[in-house]
Structure formats: structure tokens, C-alpha cells
Amino acid sequence: MAEFVPVAPFDLVIFGGTGDLAQRKLLPALFHRDSDGQFSDDSRIVAVSRGEMEHAAYVDWVREALIGRIDGEFDEKVWSRFAQRLHHVQLDLADGDDWSALAAPLDAEGRRTRVFYLATAPSLFGTVAGRLDAAGLVDANARIVLEKPVGHDFDSARAINDAVGAVFDESQIYRIDHYLGKETVQNVLALRFGNSLFEPLWARGAVDHVQITVAEDIGVGQRFDFYQRTGALRDMVQNHMLQLLCMVAMEAPASMHHDDIRNEKIKVMRALKPITAEGVDRVSVRGRYTAGIVDREPVAGYAEEGGTRDAPAEADTETFVALKAEIDNWRWNGTPFYLRTGKRMARKLSEIVFQFKPVPHSIFGEQPLEPNRLVLSLQPEEGVQLTLMTKEPGPGGFRMRSLPLNLNFPDAFSVTYPDAYERLLMEVLRGNPALFMRRDEIEAAWQWIDRIIDSWASRGVRTHEYMAGSWGPTDSFVLLDRDGRRWAQPI
């Protein structure tokens, strides 16, 4: 039975508290934690946005946002407690507005933990930190949460980190990557370092290669303008996929202390072989979806989704990317990590596949033997699967079959899994930054990504079309085929 430990009283200020993220993720996450009794009566949630909103109108808006988004029945008793916490403050963060209205709902005596959650455009991060400081709202116990993306490239990320770092100590800064809040990602630590079985095999000697796939069935939809400026490499690889790669490739941290884990992750990031213009064609593939069928429904292509909106000049934005990443260190030298992510793919699927090497010699004659495979499934199902060669039961010959050993988390544990945002918000309120990215991680990731973007530009690497509902462009299969390998998921 899960135990829900309450957090200390807090004031949580959400800049962008009327936005899509607040509506779909943050407010439902907070409501769930409140319903499990983790918040004190005097804890508050303060939303900031430019729109004029009476208190009652904001409360109604939140209620609408929650109904239908929270798990189970809408509990009116929890709602009346939650509604008491809500405040709305009208401020234009980009303007020189008077910030005194923001101080009003906050505890002036320092009894409550103060958290500033920046669910706004990253271009506002530095300004907001500076204004908070000028308004005297930052003390040693305050924390600031930065939503992704932190910047658009290395230079902008560094400028944001400098501006926020001028006001907040690094220990007070929580840079979110919601993948680090996912149950299976946490379980990578448990699997690797809570069992003696895997660690000796977790290296180039036994592992042929690793595949990390984050496939989505949704398109860019309403976020076309954002995507047009961003693309899949910046949106998904710079953060989520590199974090997954670090979690599975890092050395054993000395403890679960946040800096022990982050110190190991940054070593992986720094050991990533740069993808240069010279080899970019052979180790990367960009794709863009065209119209197709997803989940038996016809869907539009990326270009049609943009409609008549003004598109920036660099219109060849990728909605899919596949990469061959190499880690130049003792453990992984010669063992490639193939990364692939895309929108409008055949189905939603995130998994990490460890493909082990074949046996050195078969005693079973002509019978094909499939090398072992360890699959860490992130979504939609969460679990771990290990395929083993076994003998088919029965008389009359010795027939070999590959069978999976399955650990399916929902079957094994009878608890509801909190959404990643629930876990991450609670970690911020508890003051544990282990599941958040440190400044050096973000900057090292951008350096590696910028190099790829520069290489694409200098070699004029264009996107390849793939049909919505497929597993990506043909070239992404060629990427592995060239190395005599194939993706774990079918074409």
C-alpha cells in the first residue's frame, strides 16, 4: 500500500497559470496530491498571467480544467479544499508592471516554502528571476522551476542560466525534464543497481547495441508554430532522449544523492562523440510526416497542419529524427546507441532495448538462435522484458524458441502510478533536485545538439518524408541496416 507523506506548507506561484501546461498537467497533478492529503491547509497556489480574471472566474476556470482530467470521480470535498488555495494575479512579465500584487497572497514571515514555477516562454526566465529579486521575493529557501526548453541553443541556454543564476543558487534551481519523473526511468536505477545480475553484462563486451525509441502517434496540432521553430531534435532529443541515454549508460553513482547521479550523467554527456559535418549523412536521419492513417483514422500531414499560418523561413522542420550516437569511453566504446523519435508514428511507444551479442558458437546446428534482448518499456505499458532462448517442450527433436520473461508493473504492483508531473512537483516541494537537470548537463547537451544542427546546415541535410502511421522514413531503417542491425519494432 502506497504511503503518502505530507509536504511542508508552501506557496507555489505558477507563471503561466492559465496556460496549456497548467491546465493539462500542473493543476491536475496538484489536485491529485491534495486528494491524497499531502498538502497543509495553509498551502497556496498562485497563478500569474496577463489576462484580467476575477478570483471567482479563475476558480471556475480551474474547476473546468480539472473535471475530466483527474483520475476517478471528481471529489467535491477535495475540490472545496483545493479551491481555497487558488489565487490569480494579473501581471505582464515582459512589462515593468508593479509586482506588489504578487506579494499579497504570499506568506511574508517565511513559514511556507516558496516555489516559483516558470511555465512560460524561456525568453522570460531571466527577466522573471530579476523582477522577483527586485521585488524582494527571493529568500534562501525559495526555489525556481524552469520548464523546458531551457534555451534554443547553447548560447541562449547559457544566458538564461547566467540570468537565473545571478538571483538563485544552483541548489535552488529545478530544470524540469518530465521523463525523469516517469516510473520506468526511475526503475532503471533500481534494475541496474539493485541487482547484481545485469551490471557485469552492462557494457561493450556483452551488449551489441542499444536502441532508444520515443514514438508518438499524435501530430504537432496546435503547437505548429512552436514546432516550426524547434523541430524534433531540439524538442525531444536535447532533453528527454539524452537524459534516457545518460541514465542507462552512466557508471554506478556512489549513492542516490542528487549530485552523485548528476556527476555520472554529465560524464556520459561529455563522452558523446561529436556528430560532425563529415559523417552527418551516415549517422543521422531527419523526417517529416505526410498525410496517412493513425489508429484507423485519416490524418493530415505536417505541412497541411500548418495551414495558412506564417511559417518562418527555415520551413524544413523535422518531426522525426534518428541518430547513431557513440559514447567514447571505456564501457561503451564500439557499442552504438541508436536514438529515434517522431510524431505521427505507428503508435505511442517509448522503450529502451538492450540487444545482447549472439552466442559465440551454436551447438544446435542449423537452428537459428536469437540473441537475448532486454526491453525497458516506458509507455504506454511500463515494464521490463528479457527474451531468452528456451527449448520447446515435447518429444521429437530439440527445437529452440525465443521467449520473454515479463515484469509488467501494473500487474505486479496494485498502485496507481502518479503522473511524472506529480512526482516532480512533490520533489520540488520536498527540496530534492535529483530528478532535475543541473546547469552543466543542459549546456553539455546543447553543445552536442548544436553541432548536429550546424552539420545539417552545412551539408544541407533535408527531411525525408514518412507517412503518418508508419515507423518513420526508409532512411532510418537504412541507418541500422548499414551496420547489419534492425530496429526492434517492425517496419
Ligand X SMILES: O=C1O[C@H](COP(=O)(O)O)[C@@H](O)[C@H](O)[C@H]1O
Ligand Y SMILES: NC(=O)C1=CN([C@@H]2O[C@H](COP(=O)(O)OP(=O)(O)OC[C@H]3O[C@@H](n4cnc5c(N)ncnc54)[C@H](OP(=O)(O)O)[C@@H]3O)[C@@H](O)[C@H]2O)C=CC1
Kindly state the smallest distance separating residue 419's Cβ from ligand X, in Å. 9
Binding partner at 69 among ligand X, ligand Y, none, C-beta below 5 to 8 Å by kind: none
Number of chain positions touching ligand Y (CB under 6 A): 20
Binding ligand Y (rule: CB under 6 A), the pick from 35, 43, 49, 213 is 49
Of the candidates 235, 422, 427, 441, which one interacts with ligand X according to CB under 6 A?
A: 235
CA dist 140 and 227 (Å) reads 37
Distance CA 439, CA 147 (A): 13
Q: Which does 94 bind (CB under 5 to 8 A by kind): ligand X, ligand Y, none?
A: ligand Y
Closer to ligand Y by Cβ: residue 236 or 325: 236
CB of 216 to ligand X, least distance (A): 5
Of 163-202, binders to ligand X (CB under 6 A) are 178
Among 20, 162, 260, 483, binds ligand Y (CB under 6 A): 20
CB of 261 to ligand X, least distance (A): 21
User: Using the rule CB under 6 A, is 351 a contact of ligand X?
Assistant: no
Question: Residue 357 Cβ, how far from ligand Y at the closest point, in Å?
Answer: 38
- The CB-nearest residue to ligand X is 235
Q: Which residue, 18 or 243, is less far from ligand Y as judged by CB?
A: 18
Work out how close the CB of 18 gets to ligand Y at its nearest, in angstroms, rounded to a whole number. Answer: 4
Query: Which span (90-98, 253-261, 323-331, 467-475) binds ligand Y, by CB under 6 A?
Result: 90-98
Could you say which residues in the range 168-197 bind ligand Y, by CB under 6 A?
Answer: none
Q: What mask, x for binding ligand X by CB under 6 A, covers residues 119 to 158?
A: -----------------------------x----------
Taking alpha carbons only, the member of 184, 231, 137, 126 closest to residue 349 is 184
- Neighbour order of strands in the sheet with 86-90: 86-90, 44-49, 10-15, 113-118, 143-146, 173-175
Query: Hey, is 488 helix, strand or coil?
Result: coil
Binding site for NADP(+): which residues?
50, 92-93, 148
Q: Which of 183, 208, 216, 217 binds ligand X (CB under 6 A)?
A: 216
- d(Cα 239, Cα 309) in Å, to the nearest integer? 28
Nearest in space to 233 (alpha carbons), one of 474, 450, 458, 462? 450
Task: Kindly state the smallest distance separating residue 71's Cβ from ligand Y, in Å.
Answer: 18
DSSP string, 80-125: HHHHHHEEEEE--TTTT--THHHHTTS-TTS-SEEEEEE-S-GGGH
Interacting residues with ligand Y between 102 and 141 (CB under 6 A): 119-122
Rule CB under 6 A: say whether 422 interacts with ligand X: no
- Which residue type occupies 92? D
From the candidates 32, 87, 88, 240, give the one annotated as an active-site residue: 240
Interface residue with ligand Y, options 2, 56, 94, 405 (CB under 6 A): 94
**Could you say whether residue 21 binds ligand Y (CB under 6 A)?**
yes
Among 226, 282, 231, smallest CA distance to 455 is for 282
C-alpha cell at 448: 552536442
Which sign, positive or negative, has the C-alpha torsion 263, 265, 268, 269? negative
What does the chain come to in residues? 491
- State how far the Cα of 443 lies from the Cα of 245, in Å rounded to an integer: 16
How many C-beta atoms lie closer than 10 Å to residue 205's C-beta? 11
- Written as one string, the DSSP assignment of 316-337 is ---SEEEEEE-B-STTTTT--E
**Residue 135's closest CA among 88, 104, 100?**
100
Binding-site residue set: 50, 92-93, 148, 178, 182, 216, 235, 343, 348
Binding to ligand X in span 70-109, by CB under 6 A: none
Residue 371 C-alpha cell reads as 540473441
Write out the binding residues for substrate.
178, 182, 216, 235, 343, 348
Beta strand extents in 165-311 (DSSP E only): 173-175, 207-215, 284-290, 292-294, 297-299
- Partner whose binding site includes residue 135, from ligand Y, ligand X, none (CB under 5 to 8 Å by kind): none
Terminus-to-terminus CA distance in the chain, angstroms?
41
The correct pick among 9, 19, 165, 431 for binding ligand Y (CB under 6 A) is: 19
**Residue 240 known to be catalytic:** yes
Taking alpha carbons only, the member of 129, 119, 216, 114 closest to residue 176 is: 119
| List of E strands, 380-458 | 383-391, 400-408
The closest of 144, 163, 146 to 155, measured between CA atoms, is: 163
Among 10, 46, 137, 147, the residue binding ligand Y under the rule CB under 6 A is 147
Site for ligand Y in 211-240 (CB under 6 A): none
Residue 235 binding partner per list ligand Y, ligand X, none, with a CB distance cut-off of 5 to 8 Å that depends on partner kind = ligand X
Binding site for ligand X (CB under 6 A): 148, 178, 216, 235
* Active-site residue list: 240
**Which residues of the chain form contacts with ligand Y (CB under 6 A)?**
16-21, 48-51, 91-94, 119-122, 147-148
